[in-house]
Structure 1
């Protein structure tokens, strides 16, 4: 099936673009006609390796750095879409976490999402055509999972931020939604020592199969699957959808 050119001539911002869901979104936006992409990640090599057939501006830095957004915001002029995706994982029980551990996650997952979304919405408001944004939340924002407190809390917060932003942006024709994936095969798992140990002992495929045993579908999604859904919400096909948090988790939260 030929991809529709439903982003023809559009510009889009994607954070966390060097791998996983962000990279999949960037590739699919380009394949579907995007004219210009602004890609942000701390991983310079990953950004350089990303091949997109359109004009690409690669920005290396942390989304939690306010100075990055001060420098970047003038270059967001004319922005049509934003994929607010950058995030990090974390482990540890709430009673045992230090404030530094907590803040490390919030700086990227919540503060970074706020800085990204607010800059994107200002750019969309300025040109008057409106636009759309999708924030990557998580099924752990819906279903409490022990041992990942800061991650789950940060994702619950960005889900609600999407709803508030949707109400605030409506007058300027700006739509904001969130997606709450369950397990997805992305590089974020590499931050887990337990995951790395299992891969070393059992292999990546067996590790993901075991992890997916708590999901009714019995599988984790691919980054491309998530990107397809996110681009639907971003596109004109999703024009009547705003303030929605879409759970796409293979039944994990049932």
Structure 2
């Protein structure tokens, strides 16, 4: 395919997005549709959230658990060829290492690490059928900077960031780029599962609770999902043709 005159033009391209029903995944879906993507394969456990997405492009929507290998075996035949993959599905998790139960550890690892592996592996195979492509894995600044009390979440995000780098090294010869993005605080629904956040919202309201949490960031505010989607779009795009195997930190200065 001849490179488009606009390197942010995704016209005619097909993209797989996990965690697509809300937050960063939904924002990526809207961004890619606006850039002309022809086909979006959207995956999330939240069927209602998937159904609620209003997108001006062809979509295929699957309400599955990304950590279920049997579901991926069923789905892979329907993927066909892909141009891009966004490995984004994730859940929150907190607690100090010494206090965690193995059940809680596995709950978070199943989605954030196992699910990411299954997604990326299937996505790379589909991009190989296309002869080229690019992928972005959503990691986290907590996988780069040690943050007490985030237990398996930070460990899983460190692992997926390195997985992206290994996949980049393995697949450059196939014309496939793989990068990770490591956001700091982002205003998404993932915070809703945190007891501390719930208490802060009850006492001060959601906006004030987020603003209070963002005081640790030099920028003084959390990112929006749309801001992160734009950065993911850049990493997927032809503008980033020479970029592979990086962990792109986008945290408003939190990790200075």
The TM tier, using the shorter chain, reads over 0.9
Query: Equivalent residue for 1:247?
Result: 249
Q: Deviations over 1:172-196 (max 9, x none)?
A: 1000000000000000001111111
Partner Cα distance (1:122, 1:232) in 2: 22
Alignment of 1:5-154 (within 5 A): 6-128=9-131, 130-154=132-156
Q: Deviations over 1:181-227 (max 9, x none)?
A: 00000000011111112112101111011000111111100000000
Query: Equivalent residue for 2:201?
Result: 199
Structure 1 contact 208–220 (Cα < 8 Å) conserved: yes
Partner Cα distance (1:35, 1:76) in 2: 14
Shift of 1:78: 1.5
Partner Cα distance (2:106, 2:169) in 1: 28
Shift of 1:101: 0.6
Partner Cα distance (1:221, 1:5) in 2: 21
Give yes or no for the alignment of 1:232 onto 2:240: no
Shift of 1:39: 0.3
Q: Would you identify which runs of 4 or more consecutive aligned residues in structure 1 move more than 4 Å?
A: none
| TM-score relative to the length of structure 1 | 0.97
Give yes or no for the alignment of 1:175 onto 2:163: no
Query: Equivalent residue for 1:165?
Result: 167
Shift of 1:127: 2.6
Shift of 1:4: 7.5
Partner Cα distance (1:212, 1:182) in 2: 10
Partner Cα distance (1:240, 1:51) in 2: 33
Shift of 1:147: 0.7
Partner Cα distance (1:5, 1:164) in 2: 26
Q: Deviations over 1:15-37 (max 9, x none)?
A: 00000000000011111000000
Unaligned runs of 5+ in 2: 1-5
Partner Cα distance (2:92, 2:8) in 1: 34
Structure 2 contact 94–149 (Cα < 8 Å) conserved: yes
Partner Cα distance (1:216, 1:237) in 2: 28
